[in-house]
Amino acid sequence: MKHLMIAAVSALALAGCTPAKTPQPASLDSAAPAETEVATLTLADVVASDRRSAEEKARDAWRHPVETLEFFGATPDMKVVEIWPGGGWYTNILAPWLASGGGTLVAAGFDAASIEDPDRRARTEARLEEFKATYAKPEFGTIEYTAFSASSGPLTAEGTADMVLTFRNIHNWMAGGYTEKFFADAYSALKPGGVLGVVEHRLPSTQAQDPKATSGYVHEDYVKAMATAAGFEFVEASEINANPADTADHPFGVWTLPPNLATADREGKSVEGFDPEKYKAIGESDRMTLKFRKPG
């Protein structure tokens, strides 16, 4: 598990008691005047803020956060569940944006209670506490914390979420054998009409799907079938996060590509004549971007 690499975001000033007649745009980079009504941030405001690190912004070209969230139909007044936020790359966008618009972010992180190994469980608990401490600031709003695993409880109160989002996680749940549980939990969490947004590394239909997704790649039809079986309606697919240069047949799976750039497998075995520069040139993985809806 990676160490957290969280970019701090500057404080958003609260509106004064007597708002000005003309609201001023909100800013992540400076406090609003004392007697100014702070407008809701736009996604562009948050993504372009110089409070995001250069490393985070470098991945925008592959992750397209503004376009992706707009495709899913996210608005800043929503209750949004982010599954396994990890180091907080999307949290750094979602949290201040939702806080500015009166929305709520639910961070459903790793479930430390489900980990049997005591050392690994302790490390996970420590990183979760570090994550919570990082986001315990007014500009991030009040984040609701839950967990997701093969044995976890509800993602949030049943039927209260407007949107559930997962970014490049389904292969992990296939490896763990609890993909069905994710779709069932997401369905339960959402309001009627609520949206499930999925971004995942895409396996070409011409290649065989490993049930455990050990390469990190997943068939788009598999995701659609799992969502439909859980009760979701498929709404639309987008090529926002597509990368035609990715052939999805790399020696160390998706982790051969940036940002991981693996040069060996988990046992430390490499491949004769392996050229990492070839994989840098490909860029990040080809990704499906799928929108589903809970029937209203």
- Tens of pLDDT along the chain (296 residues) come to 334 333 333 333 333 333 333 334 444 544 444 444 557 899 999 999 877 899 999 999 999 999 999 999 999 999 999 999 999 999 999 999 999 999 999 999 999 999 999 999 999 999 999 999 999 999 999 999 999 999 999 999 999 999 999 999 999 999 999 999 999 999 999 999 999 999 999 999 999 999 999 999 999 999 999 999 999 999 999 999 999 999 999 999 999 999 999 999 989 999 998 999 999 999 999 999 999 999 99
> Does 226 fall in a domain?
yes
> Does 42 fall in a domain?
no
> Does 22 fall in a domain?
no
Q: Is the pTM of this model over 0.95?
A: no
Q: Which two tokens stand for residue 285?
A: 């993985």
Return the pLDDT at 50: 78
Return the pLDDT at 39: 72
> Does 247 fall in a domain?
yes
> Does 1 fall in a domain?
no
Return the pLDDT at 176: 97
Q: Which domain holds residue 221?
A: 53-293
What is the residue whose two structure tokens read 């990890």?
86
Q: Please give the single-letter amino acid code of residue 145.
A: Y
Assign residue 246 the CATH number of its domain: 3.40.50.150
> Does 39 fall in a domain?
no
Burial of 39 (0-12, 13-18, 19+ CB in 10 A): middle
Report the helix count and the strand count for the chain, using DSSP H and E: 10, 8
Number of folded domains in the chain? 1
